[in-house]
Amino acid sequence: MPTQYGNRLVLGISSRALFDLSDSHRVFQDQGLKAYSEYQVANEDKILKPGDSFELVKKLLSINELVTGGHAVEVILLSRNSADTGLRVFNSIQHYGLDITRAAFGGGESPYRYMSPFGCHLFLSTDAEDVKQVLADGFAAATILRSGKGGGSGSQLRFAFDGDAVIFSDEAERVYQEEGLEAFAETEKQAAREPLSGGPFKPFLSALHRLQSELPGDQCPIRTALVTARSAPAHERVVRTLRAWGIRIDESLFLGGLSKGEFLKAYGADVFFDDQEGHCQSASEHVPTGHVPHGVANQ
């Protein structure tokens, strides 16, 4: 990661995750790139409505108001638009008063290759192929599902994560998929004191933990939760793994296979990340959700 970013938490986000571009995207799909470009230019002064990750971004940027110097977090626009067609997006950013000043416009190509130069920890997009490329490059990324559900009602920013194949590697999930629940439970019991390998979201979670550590503990604007289908005794390896990593999770829900949606709603998640599409579809009925197309469940 570039040294000039220091300990800053950096989020890369696509235009369609930040704003509702469904009308213009329909033009692109039905009429092609030329018609899309003309549509965007003709409507560049028409302000876009917030997208599914808008409130998340707004809460994230508000953290800068609480720290000295105001540089704890940064959001960078990573878009397939050209700079010309992207003018409408920046006009909307300015309209809503979002402090987003850096961007990469790919001119039709994926902007994933700019994740490293910008020092991004996480990429959110509605384009599954772009997300897969970012994950393949070793960065956390998720495909934001359309849900229309807002995040938590308070000012605190609440992240929720699945465990296996998201925070952790998919090594335990592979045992479950290939050998069944009984073999999974026995393997995890035997390996309880062996830390799991890190998954694609471990670096992002580490960055969140560092940021939390620098903010007032009694008024921290960020809260994290692990929401996993695991239950006892398979919980022990998870607890010991996080302890070995030196990462704090504020809340841990071991649901033993129960549906996660109602729990995520009760927690007030601003976004939930899971590797399994079925879990994501169910969760998106309650909270904003990102699918992480990683691990054995996505092969």
Instruction: Answer whether residue 41 shows pLDDT above 50.
Output: yes
Query: What confidence category does residue 97 fall into, taking pLDDT thresholds of 50, 70 and 90?
Result: very high
Cβ-in-10-Å burial (0-12, 13-18, 19+) of 146 comes to middle
Query: What confidence category does residue 6 fall into, taking pLDDT thresholds of 50, 70 and 90?
Result: low
**Stretch 152-164: mean pLDDT:** 90
The residue from 30, 127, 130, 162 that is catalytic is: 162
Strand partners, 290: 144, 273
**Stretch 255-268: mean pLDDT:** 95
Cβ-in-10-Å burial (0-12, 13-18, 19+) of 257 comes to exposed
The answer to whether 162 is a known catalytic residue is yes
Task: Report d(CA 275, CA 298) in Å as an integer.
Answer: 8
Query: What confidence category does residue 237 fall into, taking pLDDT thresholds of 50, 70 and 90?
Result: very high
Mean predicted lDDT score pLDDT of the chain: 90
Instruction: Answer whether residue 278 shows pLDDT above 70.
Output: yes
68 or 72, higher pLDDT: 72
Instruction: Answer whether residue 3 shows pLDDT above 60.
Output: no
Q: DSSP string spanning the chain? A: --GGGTT-EEEEE-HHHHEE-HHHHHHHHHH-HHHHHHHHHHTTTSPPEE-TTHHHHHHHHHGGGGSTTS-SEEEEEEESS-TTTTHHHHHHHHHTT-----EEE-TTS--GGGHHHHT-SEEEES-HHHHHHHHHTT-EEEEEPP------SSSSEEEEE-TBTTTB-SHHHHHHHHH-HHHHHHHHHHTTTSPPPB-TTHHHHHHHHHHHHHS-GGG-SEEEEEEES--TTTHHHHHHHHHHHT---SEEEE-TT--SHHHHHHHT-SEEEES-HHHHHHHTTTS-EEE---SGGG-
Instruction: Answer whether residue 251 shows pLDDT above 70.
Output: yes
**Stretch 262-277: mean pLDDT:** 96
**Stretch 270-277: mean pLDDT:** 96
Query: What confidence category does residue 2 fall into, taking pLDDT thresholds of 50, 70 and 90?
Result: very low
Confidence at residue 5, expressed as pLDDT on a 0 to 100 scale: 42
Task: Report d(CA 237, CA 244) in Å as an integer.
Answer: 10
119 near 1, Cβ under 8 Å?
yes
**Dihedral Cα 42, 49, 124, 257, nearest 10 deg:** -140
Instruction: Answer whether residue 1 shows pLDDT above 60.
Output: no
Instruction: Answer whether residue 28 shows pLDDT above 90.
Output: no
Confidence at residue 242, expressed as pLDDT on a 0 to 100 scale: 97
Confidence at residue 24, expressed as pLDDT on a 0 to 100 scale: 80
Confidence at residue 124, expressed as pLDDT on a 0 to 100 scale: 98
Query: What confidence category does residue 4 fall into, taking pLDDT thresholds of 50, 70 and 90?
Result: very low
Least confident of 67-71, 177-181, 241-245, 254-258: 67-71
Instruction: Answer whether residue 33 shows pLDDT above 70.
Output: yes
Q: What are the structural domains, with CATH classification, of the chain?
A: 3-142 (3.40.50.1000), 157-294 (3.40.50.1000)
Name the one residue in this structure whose structure tokens are 């939930």: 272
**Stretch 210-231: mean pLDDT:** 88
